[in-house]
A and B are shown apart, each in its own frame.
Chain A
Amino acid sequence: MAHDGRTTEGLRTRGLTKSFGGPPVVRDVDIDLRPAEVHAIVGENGAGKSTLLKLLAGVHQPDAGEVIVDGNAVAVTSPTVARSLGISLIFQEPTLFPDLTVAENIFMGRHPVTARLPMVRWRTMLSRAAALMESIGARIDPARPVGELSVAEQQLVEIATALSHRARFVLMDEPTASLTPREVDRLFAIIRDLKARGASVVFVNHRLEEVFAIADRITVMRDGAKVGTWAAGELSRDEVVKRMVGRELGRSPERPHVQPGEVALEVEDLTAPGRFRGVSLSVRRGEIVAMAGLVGAGRTEVARALFGIDSFERGTVKLNGQAVRFRSPREALRAGLAYLPEDRQHQGLIQALTVAQNMTLTILGELSRGGWLDRRREQELARRQVERLQVKTPSVNSAVQNLSGGNQQKVLVGKFLIARPKVLILDEPTRGVDVGAKAEIHRLIVDLAAQGMAVLVISSDLPEVLALADRVIVMRAGQVAGELSRDEATEESIMRLAVGTGPTAGGRKAL
C-alpha cells in the first residue's frame, strides 16, 4: 500500500447515532482508529458493532454525529465515498460476483480499458490482480471465477480489493466466522502485514481468544453504546466478557459424569462417495457426543444423511435398536430424530413468520382439528417453549426476523424440541450467538441430556466441545479420524486428529 508519508491522524467519530425505526442501534459512539493498529470491537449480538462499521463505510447514514478523517469532518454518503477516503468494509459473508473472475471482482467498476475503445485490457487487469494477490501471499489464480473459491479465499479477494483501493482503514465484520483454524492463521498474518504497512484494521469478532491473539486495542460495545476502549494488555478475557454483558456470567455448566442409558442412535459404516466414508458412531440416552473436525470434514453431510435430506450409499442406521433409513426429514422427525441445521437464516427459521408460527411448524399436524388450525393451542405451546427457553421476545406473535441471533437460535431449538425428539442433532448451535445466550443454550443442552435425550453436537468451537461432550468424535476428510473420551479430549488432542498430525487414535479403520 502506497503510504506517501503525509501525517495521518487516523479516523475518529463523534456522537455517531443510528436507528432503524426503533430504539437507536448505535448510540452516541466516539471511537478513534489509529494508523498501524488492529482495533477489535467486541460485544454481544445486537450491540451495534456491524451497524457501526456500516456507518463508517457509507452503507448506512448516521442520524447524528460525525466522522472525522485526518482531522476533517467528512460525510460518508456512500460506499464509493468511503473508498475514496480509504475506508473499505469486508463483510461477514463475502459479497462478490460469483460468476465473474477474481480479477474482474477486484477491479469492478474500474476495469482498465484501452485508450480508444472502451475495451477491457484483460492482460493488464490479470497481471495487476496477480500482483495484488501475491502481495498478501495468496496463491489464487486471478482468472478463476469467484464462485469456485472457498469462503476464506473469497475473503482474500475482498482484502485484495481493499488494497487496490489503497485502503487505510480496513473494516472486517466477523472475518473468521466461517474459517478453519489454519485459514484464521493465514488471515492474521495478512492483518499483521496490513498493520505493518500503516493501515488500521478494525476487527469485529465473537471469539475472544482470536481477539486477544491479534488486537492492539479493544473496544467493548453494549446495547449500541461504547462501554470503553482498552489496550489489549489491560484486560483479561473475563473482564472483557463482564463488560460485554454488563453482569457476571454464569460459567458453562460443569458436566457431571452421567450414567448413560441404552444406545439411542447407532450408525455403522455409513458411506456416501464424495461426502463421507465408513462413518460409525453411537449415542446413548442421556449422553452428549460432540462431532468435531475442520469445516468441510463431512460432519454436516453425515447429519443431513441421517436426517433424510441427502441419501447415502451404504451403511446401517439404528434408532432405538430399530434399523431405519429416512427418505425425508418428515420421516425422521416422526421417528424421533431431529436435526437443527447450521444455517438458521435459510434452513432453520422462516424469518417473516412469528415465533409461534415457527415453533409449531414441526407439529402442525397435531394442531389440526379436522384441518382447522387450533390457534389457542398453538399460542399456548409456543408460550410454554418461550418461557422454558427464556426467549427474549415482545410476544410469541413477533416476527422472528426482529429477534437477535441468540434468541433466534433459541426459537430454532424450541421448534424442534416441541416435536419431542429422542435423538437431537445440533449443528453449530451457538455460531454467531452472543456469550450470554451461548451459556444458556449450553445449559439447555445439558438439561436435555439429563432428561434422557441422546444429543449429538456438531461444533467447530473447541471450548464448547470440551464443555459439553461426554465423548468427542473427530472427523477428517469424510472419515472418523478418532474418538476421544471426556478425559482424553483437549483442544490439542482434538486438533491433532482433525488436521491429521500424529497417530490416528481411537483405532478407527480408514477405508
Chain B
Amino acid sequence: MSRERLRELAVQSGPELLLVALFAASLAFSAWLSPYFLRVTTLFDMTSQFMELGLMALAMTLVIIMGQIDLSVASILALVGVVFGLLSENGVSLALAIPAALALAAVLGMINGWLAVAFRLPALVVTLGTMALYRGIGQILLGDRSAYGFPAWFVSIDFRYIPGTPVPLPLVIFAAFAVGFFLLLHRTTFGRLVYAVGNNAEACRFSGIAVDRLQVAVFTLSGLMSGMAGLMMTSRFASARWDMASGLELDVITTVVLGGTSIFGGRGTITGTVLALFVIGTLRYGMGLANVLPQNQSVVIGLLLILAILGPETGRAWQARRRRAAVRKGGELQASKAEVSAR
C-alpha cells in the first residue's frame, strides 16, 4: 500500500518533482561537461546569466495561466533599455531615468492589454505586432550603436554580492520577486481571478468579474517585469542596444511551460516556473562552459521541453491504465460474488 501511495504522490506532484530531478540531472550533466562548474562561486555567479529571463517568466506565468500569451516581453526589455540609455546619455539623473524607464515598461504592457481588450483581438496577434513594433522603435531611436556611459554605481550588478557571501545581487532581486509573485498568485484574490479567468473567462463575466480590467492589469505587470529585466541587463552589460535579448521571449515561454503551466491556461504554479528556470539556466550555462554550440544547446532544451510535457502525461495515462485493470479484476470478483449470492 505504501508503495502505491508513493506512486500516487509522485504522479500528483507532477511536474514539480520531475523538475527537481531534472535540476539535479542538469547539475550533474554540467559538472561532467566542465570541471569548472561545481564550484560554489561558479554556481552562484552562473545565476546572474538568467535572472532577466526569470523576472519575465514570473509575470509570463500569470499571463499564460490567464489563457493569454505575451510575445513582446523581450522587445519591451530592449526598448526600455534603449530609452533608459538615451536618457542617461543626455544627462538625466538616474533617480529620474529609472522610474521613467519602469513607467514606460508598464505603459507598453498596458498598451498590449488594452489593444487585446478593446478590439477583442487574441493577445497572440497583438503582441506579435508589438514585438516587432517595440524593438523597431528602439532601433529608430538609437540606431545601430550602443548607449553607454552609465554611472559606475549602476553598472555590473552581477559583480555585487551580499557582503560576506557569494550571493550576487540579481539572484537576491529575483528571489524577492519570486516570493512576491508566489504570494500574488497563490494567496490573493487577484491570483484567484487569474486562475478563474484562465479556466473560463465567459463564466467569470457572468459572475460579475471585470475580466477586461484584469487582463490589462496582468499585461501591465508583464511589461513592468520586462522593464525590470531591461534595467538589469543594461547594468550587466554596461550598455544598451536595440537588439539586446533578441529572441529571449521564446526562452521565457519555454521556461513557463516547462514549469508545468498549461499553455491553454487555467493551470500552473510559480514554484514550477522557478524550478524550470534553474533547470534551463543550469543546462545552458553548463553547455556554454563546455563550448557546446548554441544550436546544439537548443536541441537539448527542446528535447527537455518535450520530455517534461510528455512525462506527467504518460504518468497519468499509466496510472489510469492500472486503475482500469484493477477495476476489471474487481468487476470479475463482484460478478462472481453476485453469482454466489444469487444462488
Contact = CB atoms under 8 A, between A and B. Distances in A.
A378 to B, nearest CB: 9
Contact of A373 (B189, B205, B207, B267): B189
A309 B332 contact: no
Contacts of A352: 199, 266-267
Given A15-B335, A352-B266, A332 B188 contact: no
Interface in A323-355: 328-330, 332-334, 339, 341, 346-353
Given A64-B332, A368-B189, A347 B199 contact: no
A350 B187 CA distance: 19
Contact of B208 (A17, A332, A341): A332
A32 interface: no
Contacts of A24: 327, 331
Question: Is the interface on chain B under 10, 10 to 19, 20 to 34, or 35 or more residues?
Answer: 20 to 34
A28 interface: yes
Nearest to B332: A64
Contacts of B202: 346-347
A347 B323 contact: no
B327 A357 contact: no
A179 to B, nearest CB: 24
Interface string A22-36: 001001100000000
Contacts of A348: 203, 206
A63 B324 contact: yes
Interface string B186-202: 01111111011001101
A330 B210 contact: yes
Contacts of A371: 188-190
A350 B205 contact: no
Contacts of A471: none
A361 B211 CA distance: 12
Question: Is the interface on chain A under 10, 10 to 19, 20 to 34, or 35 or more residues?
Answer: 35 or more
Contacts of A63: 324, 327-328, 331
Interface in A7-25: 15, 17, 19, 21, 24
Contact of A330 (B208, B331, B332): B208
Given A350-B203, A352-B199, A362 B331 contact: no
17 contacts: A24-B327, A28-B335, A63-B324, A63-B328, A309-B205, A329-B208, A346-B203, A347-B203, A349-B203, A350-B196, A350-B200, A352-B199, A352-B266, A371-B190, A372-B187, A373-B189, A415-B207
Interface of B: 187-193, 195-196, 199-200, 202-210, 266-267, 320, 323-324, 327-328, 331-332, 334-335, 338
Would you list the 9 A-B pairs with minimal beta carbon distance, nearest first?
A333-B208, A330-B208, A64-B331, A368-B189, A19-B327, A361-B207, A17-B331, A63-B328, A350-B200
Given A352-B199, A361-B204, 19 more contacts: A17-B335, A21-B323, A27-B334, A28-B331, A63-B328, A64-B331, A333-B208, A341-B206, A346-B200, A346-B203, A347-B206, A348-B203, A349-B203, A350-B199, A350-B200, A351-B199, A372-B188, A373-B187, A373-B191
